[in-house]
Structure 1
Amino acid sequence: MKPIYFQIPKSTGETVRVQYDKQEHFYDNLHFHPEVQIMLITEGSGTRFIGDSIGSFGKGDILLLGPNLPHVFRNDKKYYEHDPLLKASNISVFFQIESFGEAFLSLPEVYPIQRLLLNSKRGIVIKGHTKEKVSRLVHQMVELDGFELFISLFSILNLLALSREVELLSSVGFDGPQKDADSKKINDVFTYIMNNFSEEIKLQKAADIANMSVNAFCRYFKQHTRKTFSEFLNEIRIGHACRLLIEDRWNVRETAFECGYDNISYFNRQFKDITGFTPSEYIKLHKEKFPLQLS
């Protein structure tokens, strides 16, 4: 999918920008920007696309997104139904690596942070106790400015650089954004998939939206997402199934139908191929890890 260049508002002389956003749903076009972004989800759930990685997101998640890394956080359908009780909100910290200077980043003491920023080009999700610590620091940054804000940023980067509770998302071979005139139609295909994945998805319809033949569209899609159209669709459906199983307490059969599968055996196979667990094993594992959330 071709991303859109996105310009982050910035004041003169501002090295670090902290931004709080609250709306009905997150900006839902695949985009990129030259700034590194630390993103804390404070409200909302849905599916995230970072480089060539697909996954779910929810309240409390924290991600580190490197410069020019294509990404989009697409909220669940219910966030598009104008429910005043549902909001999507996040706190984001933006900065450009170049602001720190090559000499500073070359210091031996800063090497772990330099390595972290290099890895951020693949996208990083933060987990465990590190996630809790970073969340507190990000919340505090909303009230800071000047040098205190700068110091707080490096406290977070140092914490992440030394932590083992981080996971790289996009593949090593992902080569970043490519600008062309196709961004709108590809995002239209993306919107079609996200709006209809719980029903029958037509490959011909997706190709028509992209104004391509089916064969040309399949080649194009694989080239730019590193996944076949079928793989992409299954990952979205199974990601949604994971949320239904652990949050809404749906049974396996109901979940399969809700996610667009009319064959329970095929759903079980896809679920295990993508998550490494059967649906029942996944539910059991989550109950053991987060007993209070399902009590």
Structure 2
Amino acid sequence: MHHYTENHVFCENENIAVVFHPAHNEEIHIHDFVELVYIAGGRGHQYIDGKKYSVMRGDMLFINLNHTHAFTTDKGMEYYNIYLKPGFISSELINADNAMQMLTLTAFEDFRETVGEESPVVRFSGGEMAEVESCLFAMLREYEHKENGTGTVLQSYLMILLTYVFRKMAAFGGVQPGDTRNKIGDLIQYIEENCTQKLSLTELSEQCFYNPSYFCRMFKAYSGMTITEFIHENRIKRACGLLLHSHKSVEEISLGVGYTNKTLFYKKFREKTGMSPAEYRKKVNIEYEI
């Protein structure tokens, strides 16, 4: 399986790339950037994470990073690809006003289940399709010519295009931006499972396409604590378990749960438990034996 990286697609200092493809098949692959696919003509089949979807002119698909993807063409299928760097989405495209909409777009499986269709697509027809295709053609022309200010123009066209997508999704009525709870919940689980690793705010916020400051506000509203507080709490919980169920030294446990600074570990441990690690081990072992 081929793995496409940003270097395969983006030129230096680019955040958006636009390509038009005539009919050809694409073998299964994966990429570390976000992809929008618009079917401009013909028919074909898209395969996303092993699931097969029939597509035709007017269909737009959102393919997140690190999802397997392939397609076969039928009856001369042509399509546009818009490639987006994940960091660009979180830092440039998303603000407090549109983050909920963008999050809904990224959760296309939830969208498919809500709408009750068999494909993770937004489908345009009639005048809507003409507007979308006009926007895409303008983006392609701008990208190929690469004049001064091309990046700004492409970003503006992209916001117009995504607005068409949001309108179409909202027209179904049942699609609500309530995926926030699920997304933050998934991230909480991720932090719990990986709290011993070095976790950056940028990495976590990009996973759900929030800018970092907005992500921090949403996380605290959902969990009742800051991200840093949550990471420390889970590290200390792990340390408590190791103090009870292992014979490792306090220093080994400190490093094992993610603390390279022993002083910080002792400080956070006392804040959470009211005692030192050695005192905790002695106390809980006595209680456990009783």
Q: TM-score under structure 2 normalisation?
A: 0.45
**Rg (Cα) greater in structure:** 2
| Structure richer in helix, relative to its length | 2
After TM superposition, the score normalised by the length of structure 1 is 0.45
